[in-house]
Structures are given as structure tokens and as C-alpha cells.
């Protein structure tokens, strides 16, 4: 069994000024509801169960400190638009449902951030999607046609606008959509953990080792405690299979990011662009770039089949070198600006692009296989799992079930270990002009 590990390399988490402590769990304990995993899914689920049923005792438990997992190490886009695959495959009615669900998640996060004054660089910045050359432009044109079909608002940028926002003339075309948000993910996750309702107990650095069904519910085992509960919510994403559920259906894929030191005033002037924006590549295998509110540039690219779930440290120097090239190609005027952090993080894909949401077995509510876009989708999934667990039937819950599916079976691991890297290598080669 593999547990999540923290590598002390994730810039978002390492930059946090004060991180609260939650007392560990010892001995035999009992809760009405246990939520395993403190990412987008788990934090939203725990909060919502507690809001729905203030007398319910809830345990939110994570193997790491909350904020150290994938939900605290992503690029910080809370995306409103359906995933490209969904834009391509679904009819307009379903796309509208996904959009509405994502907006519900964004509103929910915004409400918590405002109510509890969570300091997480939350910003209504929208999202840029950009192409470097002809290959990227082809993808961008296709994306534009999908946005048009679904009636979404967007705007094309001209060369001058791209230069004045991004601080580089590296890009040949870009589109801006307005609905999404940006944030500092580890700060958001810490804020969510720190402001849980009174009936939620938060426990960290405590992996669940085993889940057993009993006559009245479940017994969960940790190194120092045994927990009884009536119902279980799994927000464990790629690790769900390690607990014995959804085996051979989740493909863990790792991607990597590097973050610079904050730009000095002189470097900012040479940069020449704006603060607080984020750009995803038109060609999926390209590079995500973010400029934070606190003057740090972030480069994200590279994929790896994460059969081992966690980040192998030996890979990071090579990743940093690739990121350095991406950075200097875009910002030759900032060659002396160092990277302070380089990290990897894994999320889950499926063979048929489906995200799982629902009551997997009686009393076990699960959302997993996030397709690498879990900020909005994970949040709404957590909220709706909580409603489902509390017996609250709503139109939103029906919509959530309608837009989800069951990830298909994957080939045996031995085949994946050959086939997935090969496919990723080919994609990287084909997209090298967009990196």
C-alpha cells in the first residue's frame, strides 16, 4: 500500500507563514462521518456535512498536512469552463450543467474566503489560453469554435495586448475567458482547514491504513487509533485504489512546476507585463505560465506516469532544467531570476475520460479521477457527496450524477509502464514547439 508523501519542495506550501497544528488521534474513537483526504473534495465535503447536519460529528483526516497534497500544489486556476474533452463530447445542455456546477463551486469558495478572510490571493482574473506557433494556433482555433458552440464569452488578444499582459512576445495568439478565478492553492486549503465548523475535527499526518466494513458502519485503522463511523466519504483521488476501491481504473499522472523568487522592482520593470494572471497552453502538452500577485513567475510542464504516486526527487534537477529553458525562452530579460522551488504533483486520468462521483458501495461516497482539473469540479463534488450522504436530494446533485461516469478498466500495470511513457514521449516531441 502506498501513502502520500510530502517532499518539502512545493513553493505554495513552503511560502506559508504560519501553519496551524491539529492534535493527533489516539486510541478508540467514534464519529458519525469520516472524510478521508483534505483536498478540494474532502474539505468541501467535511464542511458541507457539518453545515447540513450541525449535530453530526465529522472527522476530516489526511495522511499529510492539509495543503501538501495535490490540492495545494496545483497551478491555482479555479476553472469555470468544462474540460476540453467535455466541450468536445457533450451536448450543450450537459455543458451548461457543468458550467453551472463549476460556478456553484466558485461561489461557495468565494463565500468561505470572504466570510473567514482567507488570505489566498483569490482573484477574478479569468484565464488566458495561448499558442506559441502554428500547432498551438490550430488547437486555439478549435477551442474557440467549441467556446462559440457552447455560447461562452471570450476575447481574442492582439499582439500588443499579449505583450502588455504577459511581458513577452513569445506568443502568437491568445484567448481570454472571464469566469475563472486564480488563487494560492496551499493557502486556500489551509484556510479551509482552519475555518471548519465546530462539529468537524481535523486530524493531519495520519494515514488511514485500512477500511473495514462492520455490522453498523466502518472501522478505520491508523498507526495509533481505531475509528468507528457510520458513513465514509473518500476524497483520496489517486490513492483511492490504495484503500481498495476503484482498482485499475485511475491512471496517476504527474506534472511539474517551478516558481521564481519574487521579482525586484528593477526586474518587474524589465518584465514589463502585468501581475496576477494565468495562461494555459492551447496545446495540452505545452506550458502553463502564471504571474502571481506577489511577483513570482511559475512555469508548469512535463508529464510522467506516476506509478509510484509520489515525486521521485532524483527527477527534479532535470525538470528544473527544462523549466529553465521555458522560462528563459519567454523572459530572456530575466535570465538572472532564480527558481526558488520545483515540485511535482499527481492527479488522476481515466481511460474513458470519466470522473467518478457517487455512492460506490452502501455508505461509501467517493469522488475520484479528477482529470487534472479538480479545483472547481472537486469542490462541487465534495459539496454534492455531502448532500448525498445526508440524504439531501437536489437538482444540483442530479446534475452532478448526470455529468459523471465510471472510469473504464485500464490495462495491466506492466503494460501501462511501457505504453504511457511512450505515448507521453510522442506527445512531448509533437508539441515541442509549444513548450
Ligand X SMILES: Cc1cc2nc3c(=O)[nH]c(=O)nc-3n(C[C@H](O)[C@H](O)[C@H](O)COP(=O)(O)OP(=O)(O)OC[C@H]3O[C@@H](n4cnc5c(N)ncnc54)[C@H](O)[C@@H]3O)c2cc1C
Q: With the CA atoms of 219, 251, 379 and 257 taken in that order, what torsion angle do they form, in degrees rounded to the nearest 10?
A: 120
Site for ligand X in 22-51 (CB under 6 A): 36-42
Query: Cα Rg for the chain, rounded, in angstroms?
Result: 21
Minimum CB–partner distance for residue 6 and ligand X (Å): 8
Q: Which of 29, 33, 71, 301 binds ligand X (CB under 6 A)?
A: 71
* Residue carrying the nine cell digits 437538482: 395
CA 83 – CA 69 distance, rounded (Å):
22
368: cell is 475520484
Q: Where are the alpha helices (DSSP H) in 150-241?
A: 159-166, 185-194
Minimum CB–partner distance for residue 410 and ligand X (Å): 18
Is 75 one of the binding residues for ligand X (CB under 6 A)?
Answer: yes
CA 219 – CA 210 distance, rounded (Å):
8
Is 300 one of the binding residues for ligand X (CB under 6 A)?
Answer: yes
Is 182 one of the binding residues for ligand X (CB under 6 A)?
Answer: no
CA 141 – CA 153 distance, rounded (Å):
15
Angle between helices 92-115 and 40-52 (to 10 degrees): 70
Minimum CB–partner distance for residue 70 and ligand X (Å): 4
Going by the DSSP 8-state scheme, the letter that residue 293 receives in this structure is T
Q: Which is nearer to ligand X, 138 or 247 (CB)?
A: 247
Q: Which of 350, 372, 404, 431 binds ligand X (CB under 6 A)?
A: 372
Is 86 one of the binding residues for ligand X (CB under 6 A)?
Answer: no
Q: Which of 347, 355, 404, 431 binds ligand X (CB under 6 A)?
A: 347
Q: Where are the alpha helices (DSSP H) in 75-234?
A: 84-89, 92-115, 134-149, 159-166, 185-194
Q: Which of 49, 58, 64, 229 binds ligand X (CB under 6 A)?
A: 64
Q: Can you list the positions of beta strands (E) in 336-406?
A: 339-349, 356-361, 364-368
Is 302 one of the binding residues for ligand X (CB under 6 A)?
Answer: no
Point out which span in 58-66, 90-98, 291-299, 408-416 binds ligand X (CB under 6 A): 58-66
Is 4 one of the binding residues for ligand X (CB under 6 A)?
Answer: yes
Q: Are 152 and 81 spatial neighbours (Cβ–Cβ below 8 Å)?
A: yes
Residues touching ligand X, count (CB under 6 A): 40
313: cell is 526527487
Is 201 one of the binding residues for ligand X (CB under 6 A)?
Answer: no
Is 237 one of the binding residues for ligand X (CB under 6 A)?
Answer: yes
Residues forming the site for ligand X (CB under 6 A): 3-4, 36-42, 61-64, 69-71, 73-77, 79, 207-208, 235-237, 239, 243, 255, 257, 300, 345, 347, 370, 372-375, 378
Amino acid at each position: 500500500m502506498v501513502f502520500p508523501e510530502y517532499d518539502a519542495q512545493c513553493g505554495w506550501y513552503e511560502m506559508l507563514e504560519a501553519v496551524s497544528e491539529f492534535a493527533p488521534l489516539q486510541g478508540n474513537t467514534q464519529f458519525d462521518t469520516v472524510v478521508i483526504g483534505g483536498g478540494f473534495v474532502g474539505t468541501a465535503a467535511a464542511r458541507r456535512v457539518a453545515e447540513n447536519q450541525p449535530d453530526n460529528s465529522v472527522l476530516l483526516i489526511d495522511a499529510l498536512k492539509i495543503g501538501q497534497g495535490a490540492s495545494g500544489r496545483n497551478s491555482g486556476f479555479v476553472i469555470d469552463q468544462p474540460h476540453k474533452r467535455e466541450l468536445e463530447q457533450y451536448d450543450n445542455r450537459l455543458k451548461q450543467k457543468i458550467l453551472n456546477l463549476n460556478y456553484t463551486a466558485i461561489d461557495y469558495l468565494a463565500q468561505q474566503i470572504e466570510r473567514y478572510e482567507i488570505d489566498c490571493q483569490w482573484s477574478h482574473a479569468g484565464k488566458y489560453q495561448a499558442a506559441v506557433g502554428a500547432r498551438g494556433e490550430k488547437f486555439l482555433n478549435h477551442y474557440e469554435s467549441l467556446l462559440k458552440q457552447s455560447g461562452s464569452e471570450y476575447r481574442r488578444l492582439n499582439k500588443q495586448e499579449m505583450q502588455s499582459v504577459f511581458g513577452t512576445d513569445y506568443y502568437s495568439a491568445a484567448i481570454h475567458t472571464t469566469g475563472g478565478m486564480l488563487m494560492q492553492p496551499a493557502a486556500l486549503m489551509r484556510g479551509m482547514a482552519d475555518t471548519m465548523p465546530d462539529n468537524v475535527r481535523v486530524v493531519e499526518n495520519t494515514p488511514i491504513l485500512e477500511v473495514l466494513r462492520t455490522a453498523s458502519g466502518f472501522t478505520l485503522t491508523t498507526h495509533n487509533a481505531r475509528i468507528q463511523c457510520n458513513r465514509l466519504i473518500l476524497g483520496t483521488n489517486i490513492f483511492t485504489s490504495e484503500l481498495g476501491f476503484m482498482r485499475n481504473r485511475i491512471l496517476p499522472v504527474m506534472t511539474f512546476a517551478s516558481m521564481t523568487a519574487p521579482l525586484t522592482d528593477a526586474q518587474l520593470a524589465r518584465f514589463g507585463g502585468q501581475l496576477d494572471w494565468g495562461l494555459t497552453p492551447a496545446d495540452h502538452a505545452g506550458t502553463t505560465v502564471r504571474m502571481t500577485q506577489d511577483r513570482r513567475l511559475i512555469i508548469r510542464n512535463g508529464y510522467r506516469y506516476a506509478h509510484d504516486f509520489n515525486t521521485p526527487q532524483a527527477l527534479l534537477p532535470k525538470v528544473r532544467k527544462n523549466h529553465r529553458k521555458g522560462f528563459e525562452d519567454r523572459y530572456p530579460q530575466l535570465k538572472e531570476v532564480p527558481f526558488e522551488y520545483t515540485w511535482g504533483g499527481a492527479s488522476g486520468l481515466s481511460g474513458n475520460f470519466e470522473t467518478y462521483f457517487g455512492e460506490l458501495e452502501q455508505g461509501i461516497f467517493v469522488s475520484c479521477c479528477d482529470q487534472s482539473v479538480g479545483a472547481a469540479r472537486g469542490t462541487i463534488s465534495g459539496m454534492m457527496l455531502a448532500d448525498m450522504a445526508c440524504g439531501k436530494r437536489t437538482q444540483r446533485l442530479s446534475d452532478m450524477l448526470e455529468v459523471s461516469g465510471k472510469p473504464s478498466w485500464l490495462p495491466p500495470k506492466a503494460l501501462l509502464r511501457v505504453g504511457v511513457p511512450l505515448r507521453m514521449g510522442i506527445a512531448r516531441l509533437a508539441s515541442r514547439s509549444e513548450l
